Amino acid sequence: CKILRCNSEYVAATLHLRGPERGAASCTALRSYSLCARRTARTCRGDLAFHSAVHGIEDLMIQNNCSKEGPTAPPRPRPAAPNAAHGFESLDICDYERSFLYKHGRPPGFQHCAAFGDPHIRTFHDDFHTCRVEGSWPLLDNDYLFVQATSSPVAKGSNATVTSKLTIIFKNMKECIDQKVYQAELDNVPAAFQDGSVNGGARPGGSSLSIRELSPGRHVEIRAGYIGTTIAVRQAGRQLSFSIRAAEEVARAFTEEQDLQLCVGGCPRSQRMSRSPRGRGRVPAETARALCREMLPVEDVYFQSCVFDVVTSGDANFTMAAHGALEDARLFLPDAEKLHIFQ
Protein backbone atom coordinates (compact mmCIF):
# COMPACT_ATOMS: atom_id res chain seq x y z
CA CYS A 1 0.00 0.00 0.00
CA LYS A 2 1.55 3.29 -1.13
CA ILE A 3 -0.80 5.77 0.56
CA LEU A 4 2.09 7.17 2.64
CA ARG A 5 3.74 8.20 -0.62
CA CYS A 6 0.55 10.09 -1.61
CA ASN A 7 0.54 11.77 1.81
CA SER A 8 4.16 12.90 1.52
CA GLU A 9 3.64 14.17 -2.06
CA TYR A 10 0.67 16.30 -0.91
CA VAL A 11 2.67 17.72 2.01
CA ALA A 12 5.59 18.53 -0.31
CA ALA A 13 3.24 20.25 -2.79
CA THR A 14 1.58 22.51 -0.18
CA LEU A 15 4.44 23.13 2.25
CA HIS A 16 5.60 26.40 0.71
CA LEU A 17 2.29 27.83 -0.54
CA ARG A 18 1.80 31.47 0.45
CA GLY A 19 -0.32 34.52 -0.49
CA PRO A 20 -3.32 34.90 -2.80
CA GLU A 21 -2.28 32.02 -5.08
CA ARG A 22 -2.61 29.56 -2.19
CA GLY A 23 -6.30 28.72 -2.72
CA ALA A 24 -6.08 27.57 -6.36
CA ALA A 25 -2.76 25.76 -5.78
CA SER A 26 -4.20 23.97 -2.71
CA CYS A 27 -7.15 22.72 -4.76
CA THR A 28 -4.82 21.48 -7.51
CA ALA A 29 -2.72 19.66 -4.87
CA LEU A 30 -5.86 18.16 -3.24
CA ARG A 31 -7.16 16.86 -6.59
CA SER A 32 -3.73 15.30 -7.23
CA TYR A 33 -3.81 13.80 -3.72
CA SER A 34 -7.27 12.38 -4.38
CA LEU A 35 -6.15 10.90 -7.72
CA CYS A 36 -3.08 9.33 -6.07
CA ALA A 37 -5.28 7.81 -3.34
CA ARG A 38 -7.71 6.35 -5.92
CA ARG A 39 -4.82 4.68 -7.70
CA THR A 40 -3.83 2.89 -4.49
CA ALA A 41 -7.43 1.84 -3.61
CA ARG A 42 -7.10 -1.78 -4.70
CA THR A 43 -3.98 -2.54 -2.66
CA CYS A 44 -4.94 -0.28 0.28
CA ARG A 45 -8.52 -1.42 0.84
CA GLY A 46 -7.90 -2.74 4.37
CA ASP A 47 -5.38 -0.09 5.42
CA LEU A 48 -6.48 2.38 8.13
CA ALA A 49 -4.06 5.05 6.86
CA PHE A 50 -5.77 4.85 3.44
CA HIS A 51 -9.30 5.32 4.84
CA SER A 52 -8.09 8.15 7.06
CA ALA A 53 -6.52 9.89 4.03
CA VAL A 54 -9.70 9.53 1.92
CA HIS A 55 -11.85 11.15 4.63
CA GLY A 56 -9.21 13.83 5.21
CA ILE A 57 -9.17 14.75 1.51
CA GLU A 58 -12.97 15.13 1.46
CA ASP A 59 -12.90 17.43 4.51
CA LEU A 60 -10.10 19.57 3.06
CA MET A 61 -11.89 19.87 -0.30
CA ILE A 62 -14.98 21.22 1.50
CA GLN A 63 -12.93 23.59 3.71
CA ASN A 64 -11.10 25.04 0.70
CA ASN A 65 -14.23 25.21 -1.54
CA CYS A 66 -12.47 23.02 -4.12
CA SER A 67 -14.36 21.48 -7.02
CA LYS A 68 -13.67 17.82 -7.75
CA GLU A 69 -13.20 18.62 -11.44
CA GLY A 70 -10.20 20.71 -12.46
CA PRO A 71 -6.48 20.64 -13.08
CA THR A 72 -4.15 18.28 -11.23
CA ALA A 73 -0.40 18.64 -10.99
CA PRO A 74 2.38 16.06 -11.09
CA PRO A 75 4.00 15.60 -7.67
CA ARG A 76 6.65 18.20 -7.00
CA PRO A 77 10.22 16.86 -6.98
CA ARG A 78 11.64 16.65 -3.50
CA PRO A 79 14.49 19.03 -2.72
CA ALA A 80 17.98 17.67 -3.37
CA ALA A 81 20.10 16.68 -0.41
CA PRO A 82 22.20 19.51 1.08
CA ASN A 83 25.45 20.14 -0.79
CA ALA A 84 24.32 17.92 -3.64
CA ALA A 85 25.55 19.15 -6.98
CA HIS A 86 22.74 17.35 -8.82
CA GLY A 87 19.13 16.43 -8.15
CA PHE A 88 18.20 13.07 -6.66
CA GLU A 89 17.74 11.22 -9.94
CA SER A 90 21.24 11.85 -11.26
CA LEU A 91 22.85 11.46 -7.84
CA ASP A 92 21.27 8.24 -6.58
CA ILE A 93 19.72 6.33 -9.47
CA CYS A 94 22.49 3.70 -9.13
CA ASP A 95 22.02 3.35 -5.35
CA TYR A 96 19.04 1.01 -5.15
CA GLU A 97 18.50 1.21 -1.40
CA ARG A 98 18.51 5.02 -1.27
CA SER A 99 16.33 5.21 -4.37
CA PHE A 100 13.81 2.75 -2.90
CA LEU A 101 13.69 4.63 0.40
CA TYR A 102 13.11 7.88 -1.49
CA LYS A 103 10.26 6.42 -3.54
CA HIS A 104 8.51 4.32 -0.90
CA GLY A 105 9.44 5.91 2.42
CA ARG A 106 10.84 2.62 3.77
CA PRO A 107 13.87 0.41 3.13
CA PRO A 108 13.48 -2.47 0.63
CA GLY A 109 12.91 -6.08 1.63
CA PHE A 110 15.54 -8.71 0.83
CA GLN A 111 15.64 -12.45 0.05
CA HIS A 112 18.42 -15.03 0.32
CA CYS A 113 19.30 -18.04 -1.83
CA ALA A 114 22.27 -20.41 -1.68
CA ALA A 115 23.66 -23.39 -3.59
CA PHE A 116 26.49 -25.43 -2.05
CA GLY A 117 27.84 -28.94 -1.65
CA ASP A 118 25.99 -31.72 -3.46
CA PRO A 119 24.35 -29.22 -4.57
CA HIS A 120 21.93 -28.29 -1.84
CA ILE A 121 19.63 -25.40 -2.69
CA ARG A 122 18.13 -22.97 -0.20
CA THR A 123 15.49 -21.07 -2.18
CA PHE A 124 14.30 -17.48 -1.77
CA HIS A 125 11.26 -18.97 0.01
CA ASP A 126 13.40 -20.93 2.52
CA ASP A 127 12.66 -24.32 0.94
CA PHE A 128 15.65 -26.67 1.05
CA HIS A 129 16.41 -29.35 -1.57
CA THR A 130 19.29 -31.67 -2.34
CA CYS A 131 19.59 -32.11 -6.12
CA ARG A 132 21.20 -34.56 -8.51
CA VAL A 133 21.25 -31.94 -11.28
CA GLU A 134 24.05 -32.81 -13.72
CA GLY A 135 25.03 -30.38 -16.48
CA SER A 136 24.07 -26.68 -16.52
CA TRP A 137 21.06 -25.30 -14.62
CA PRO A 138 19.91 -21.71 -14.03
CA LEU A 139 19.93 -20.57 -10.42
CA LEU A 140 18.55 -17.16 -11.45
CA ASP A 141 17.12 -15.78 -14.68
CA ASN A 142 15.48 -12.37 -14.32
CA ASP A 143 15.55 -8.86 -15.78
CA TYR A 144 18.80 -7.98 -13.99
CA LEU A 145 20.76 -11.20 -13.43
CA PHE A 146 21.45 -14.56 -15.00
CA VAL A 147 23.27 -17.15 -12.87
CA GLN A 148 24.08 -20.62 -14.16
CA ALA A 149 25.63 -23.48 -12.20
CA THR A 150 27.34 -26.37 -13.97
CA SER A 151 27.45 -29.63 -12.02
CA SER A 152 29.46 -32.82 -12.41
CA PRO A 153 29.55 -36.10 -10.42
CA VAL A 154 31.18 -35.81 -7.00
CA ALA A 155 32.89 -39.17 -7.57
CA LYS A 156 33.00 -41.78 -10.33
CA GLY A 157 29.77 -43.78 -10.44
CA SER A 158 28.04 -41.51 -7.89
CA ASN A 159 24.52 -40.10 -8.28
CA ALA A 160 25.58 -37.03 -6.27
CA THR A 161 26.89 -33.98 -8.12
CA VAL A 162 28.75 -30.80 -7.15
CA THR A 163 28.98 -27.36 -8.73
CA SER A 164 32.19 -27.16 -10.75
CA LYS A 165 31.50 -23.90 -12.61
CA LEU A 166 29.48 -20.72 -11.98
CA THR A 167 28.59 -18.11 -14.58
CA ILE A 168 27.04 -14.83 -13.42
CA ILE A 169 25.81 -12.21 -15.90
CA PHE A 170 24.99 -8.70 -14.65
CA LYS A 171 22.76 -7.39 -17.41
CA ASN A 172 23.35 -4.00 -19.02
CA MET A 173 21.70 -1.14 -17.11
CA LYS A 174 21.85 2.02 -19.17
CA GLU A 175 22.48 4.60 -16.44
CA CYS A 176 24.73 2.43 -14.28
CA ILE A 177 26.74 -0.45 -15.73
CA ASP A 178 27.89 -2.16 -18.89
CA GLN A 179 26.98 -5.85 -19.06
CA LYS A 180 29.52 -7.77 -16.98
CA VAL A 181 30.20 -11.51 -16.85
CA TYR A 182 31.81 -13.26 -13.88
CA GLN A 183 32.97 -16.85 -14.19
CA ALA A 184 34.45 -19.16 -11.56
CA GLU A 185 35.69 -22.73 -11.99
CA LEU A 186 37.35 -25.19 -9.64
CA ASP A 187 40.76 -23.79 -8.62
CA ASN A 188 39.99 -20.55 -10.47
CA VAL A 189 37.91 -18.12 -8.40
CA PRO A 190 39.10 -14.79 -9.85
CA ALA A 191 38.71 -11.37 -8.21
CA ALA A 192 37.75 -9.78 -11.56
CA PHE A 193 35.12 -10.00 -14.27
CA GLN A 194 35.87 -11.82 -17.53
CA ASP A 195 37.09 -8.63 -19.20
CA GLY A 196 39.63 -8.07 -16.39
CA SER A 197 37.71 -5.18 -14.79
CA VAL A 198 36.72 -4.96 -11.11
CA ASN A 199 33.73 -2.61 -11.50
CA GLY A 200 30.75 -1.82 -13.73
CA GLY A 201 32.68 0.16 -16.33
CA ALA A 202 32.99 3.80 -17.40
CA ARG A 203 29.37 4.87 -16.95
CA PRO A 204 28.57 7.41 -14.19
CA GLY A 205 27.32 4.62 -11.90
CA GLY A 206 30.12 2.16 -12.75
CA SER A 207 31.31 1.99 -9.14
CA SER A 208 27.89 0.64 -8.08
CA LEU A 209 29.11 -2.80 -9.22
CA SER A 210 32.33 -3.97 -7.59
CA ILE A 211 34.18 -7.15 -6.76
CA ARG A 212 36.59 -7.86 -3.91
CA GLU A 213 38.59 -10.84 -2.77
CA LEU A 214 37.99 -11.98 0.82
CA SER A 215 40.25 -15.04 0.66
CA PRO A 216 42.71 -15.34 -2.27
CA GLY A 217 41.45 -17.84 -4.83
CA ARG A 218 38.76 -19.10 -2.42
CA HIS A 219 36.16 -16.44 -1.64
CA VAL A 220 35.00 -13.33 -3.50
CA GLU A 221 32.15 -10.92 -2.85
CA ILE A 222 30.38 -9.02 -5.64
CA ARG A 223 28.34 -5.98 -4.65
CA ALA A 224 25.73 -4.72 -7.11
CA GLY A 225 24.50 -1.60 -5.30
CA TYR A 226 22.45 -0.47 -8.32
CA ILE A 227 20.11 -3.47 -7.76
CA GLY A 228 20.56 -3.82 -3.99
CA THR A 229 22.25 -7.20 -4.37
CA THR A 230 25.33 -8.91 -2.89
CA ILE A 231 26.75 -12.25 -4.10
CA ALA A 232 29.35 -14.49 -2.48
CA VAL A 233 31.26 -17.17 -4.43
CA ARG A 234 33.41 -19.69 -2.53
CA GLN A 235 35.45 -22.79 -3.19
CA ALA A 236 35.72 -25.41 -0.44
CA GLY A 237 37.36 -28.70 -1.34
CA ARG A 238 36.35 -29.78 -4.85
CA GLN A 239 33.15 -27.72 -5.09
CA LEU A 240 31.97 -24.17 -5.64
CA SER A 241 29.21 -22.48 -3.68
CA PHE A 242 26.97 -19.51 -4.42
CA SER A 243 25.06 -17.24 -2.02
CA ILE A 244 22.99 -14.15 -2.77
CA ARG A 245 21.14 -11.43 -0.90
CA ALA A 246 18.79 -9.84 -3.42
CA ALA A 247 16.21 -7.09 -3.13
CA GLU A 248 12.71 -8.62 -3.31
CA GLU A 249 11.81 -6.47 -6.32
CA VAL A 250 14.89 -7.76 -8.19
CA ALA A 251 14.30 -11.41 -7.24
CA ARG A 252 10.73 -11.22 -8.59
CA ALA A 253 11.52 -9.40 -11.86
CA PHE A 254 10.93 -12.28 -14.28
CA THR A 255 8.29 -13.50 -16.73
CA GLU A 256 6.42 -16.82 -16.96
CA GLU A 257 8.91 -17.97 -19.61
CA GLN A 258 11.73 -17.65 -17.06
CA ASP A 259 10.13 -20.28 -14.83
CA LEU A 260 13.12 -22.59 -14.33
CA GLN A 261 15.19 -20.95 -11.59
CA LEU A 262 16.50 -23.14 -8.78
CA CYS A 263 16.60 -20.12 -6.43
CA VAL A 264 12.88 -19.54 -7.02
CA GLY A 265 11.33 -23.00 -7.34
CA GLY A 266 14.06 -25.28 -6.02
CA CYS A 267 15.11 -28.28 -8.06
CA PRO A 268 12.49 -30.17 -10.12
CA ARG A 269 10.87 -33.09 -8.27
CA SER A 270 12.54 -35.63 -10.56
CA GLN A 271 15.95 -34.25 -9.54
CA ARG A 272 15.50 -34.23 -5.74
CA MET A 273 17.41 -36.63 -3.50
CA SER A 274 16.94 -37.73 0.10
CA ARG A 275 19.68 -36.54 2.47
CA SER A 276 19.56 -39.82 4.44
CA PRO A 277 22.85 -41.60 3.61
CA ARG A 278 21.97 -45.01 2.13
CA GLY A 279 24.11 -47.93 1.13
CA ARG A 280 27.87 -47.90 1.54
CA GLY A 281 29.39 -44.47 1.73
CA ARG A 282 33.05 -43.53 1.47
CA VAL A 283 33.07 -42.51 5.15
CA PRO A 284 30.96 -44.08 7.95
CA ALA A 285 27.97 -41.90 8.87
CA GLU A 286 29.06 -41.56 12.52
CA THR A 287 32.51 -40.34 11.46
CA ALA A 288 30.89 -37.80 9.15
CA ARG A 289 28.55 -36.65 11.94
CA ALA A 290 31.49 -36.10 14.28
CA LEU A 291 33.40 -34.10 11.64
CA CYS A 292 30.36 -31.96 10.80
CA ARG A 293 29.48 -31.33 14.46
CA GLU A 294 32.85 -29.58 14.94
CA MET A 295 31.88 -26.94 12.37
CA LEU A 296 28.09 -27.01 12.73
CA PRO A 297 26.93 -27.55 16.34
CA VAL A 298 23.21 -27.07 15.45
CA GLU A 299 21.80 -30.19 13.76
CA ASP A 300 19.78 -28.34 11.08
CA VAL A 301 19.68 -28.83 7.29
CA TYR A 302 23.20 -27.39 6.95
CA PHE A 303 24.43 -30.12 9.33
CA GLN A 304 22.41 -32.82 7.50
CA SER A 305 23.85 -31.61 4.17
CA CYS A 306 27.36 -31.71 5.57
CA VAL A 307 26.93 -35.33 6.75
CA PHE A 308 25.46 -36.34 3.37
CA ASP A 309 28.34 -34.72 1.46
CA VAL A 310 31.13 -36.18 3.63
CA VAL A 311 29.60 -39.69 3.51
CA THR A 312 29.06 -39.50 -0.27
CA SER A 313 32.39 -37.95 -1.26
CA GLY A 314 34.74 -39.07 1.50
CA ASP A 315 36.08 -35.48 1.51
CA ALA A 316 36.19 -33.77 4.93
CA ASN A 317 36.52 -30.38 3.15
CA PHE A 318 32.76 -30.51 2.57
CA THR A 319 32.36 -29.46 6.22
CA MET A 320 33.78 -26.08 5.08
CA ALA A 321 31.20 -25.83 2.26
CA ALA A 322 28.25 -26.15 4.66
CA HIS A 323 29.91 -23.88 7.24
CA GLY A 324 30.56 -21.19 4.57
CA ALA A 325 26.93 -21.38 3.39
CA LEU A 326 25.71 -20.97 6.97
CA GLU A 327 28.00 -17.95 7.50
CA ASP A 328 26.69 -16.35 4.29
CA ALA A 329 23.11 -16.97 5.46
CA ARG A 330 23.95 -15.33 8.79
CA LEU A 331 25.12 -12.22 6.88
CA PHE A 332 22.50 -12.19 4.13
CA LEU A 333 19.24 -13.26 5.75
CA PRO A 334 16.93 -10.36 6.58
CA ASP A 335 15.34 -12.41 9.41
CA ALA A 336 17.87 -14.01 11.78
CA GLU A 337 15.17 -16.35 13.12
CA LYS A 338 15.10 -18.09 9.73
CA LEU A 339 18.80 -18.97 9.84
CA HIS A 340 18.31 -22.59 10.88
CA ILE A 341 15.89 -24.83 8.96
CA PHE A 342 14.92 -28.15 10.51
CA GLN A 343 13.51 -30.99 8.41
Encoded amino acid at 214, one letter: L
Q: How high does pLDDT run on average in the chain? A: 86
Note whether 128 and 33 are same-domain residues.
no
Residue count of the chain, please give it. Answer: 343
Note whether 181 and 246 are same-domain residues.
yes
Note whether 116 and 242 are same-domain residues.
yes
Q: ∠ CA(289), CA(295), CA(300), 5° rounding?
A: 65
Average pLDDT over residues 203-227: 95
CA atoms within 13 A on the CB side of 178: 13
Encoded amino acid at 324, one letter: G
Burial 102-120 (b: 16+ CB within 10 A, else e): eeeeeebebbbbbbbbbbb
Note whether 18 and 152 are same-domain residues.
no
Percent of the chain with pLDDT over 90: 51
Strand partners, 140: 147
Task: Mark which of 247, 268, 289 sits at the end of a domain.
Answer: 268
Asked if the model's pLDDT at residue 85 lies above 50, the reply is no
Collapsing DSSP to helix, strand or coil, 173 comes out as: strand
101 falls within a domain: no
φ, ψ at 157 (rounded to 5°) = 80, 0
Higher pLDDT, 223 or 315: 223
Higher pLDDT, 154 or 277: 154
Within the chain, residue ranges assigned H as helices are 3-14, 22-39, 41-44, 48-63, 88-92, 96-104, 248-251, 262-265, 285-295, 301-313, 318-332
Q: What is the pTM of this model?
A: 0.73
DSSP for residue 45: T
Percent of the chain with pLDDT over 70: 90
Note whether 43 and 158 are same-domain residues.
no
DSSP for residue 172: -
Q: Report how far apart, in Å, the C-alpha atoms of 78 and of each of 24, 74, 103, 211, 238 are.
A: 21, 12, 10, 33, 53
| Extended beta strands in the chain, E state | 110-116, 120-122, 128-131, 135-141, 145-153, 161-170, 180-185, 209-215, 219-224, 229-236, 239-247, 272-273
Note whether 243 and 128 are same-domain residues.
yes
What is the per-residue pLDDT across 266-317, written as a single tens digit (0 to 9) for each?
988 888 887 775 555 778 999 999 999 999 999 999 999 999 999 988 889 8
- Give the pLDDT confidence score for residue 91 in this predicted structure: 44
- Give the pLDDT confidence score for residue 79 in this predicted structure: 43
Q: Dihedral sign, CA of 30, 34, 35, 40?
A: positive
276 falls within a domain: no
Average pLDDT over residues 127-136: 87
Query: Structurally, how many domains does the chain consist of?
Result: 2
Note whether 47 and 114 are same-domain residues.
no
- Mean pLDDT lowest for which of 42-51, 139-148, 168-177, 193-202? 42-51
234 falls within a domain: yes
Task: Mark which of 268, 287, 319 sits at the end of a domain.
Answer: 268
Average pLDDT over residues 80-97: 57
CATH label of the domain that carries residue 245: 3.40.1000.10
Provide the residue range defining the domain that includes 20: 3-64
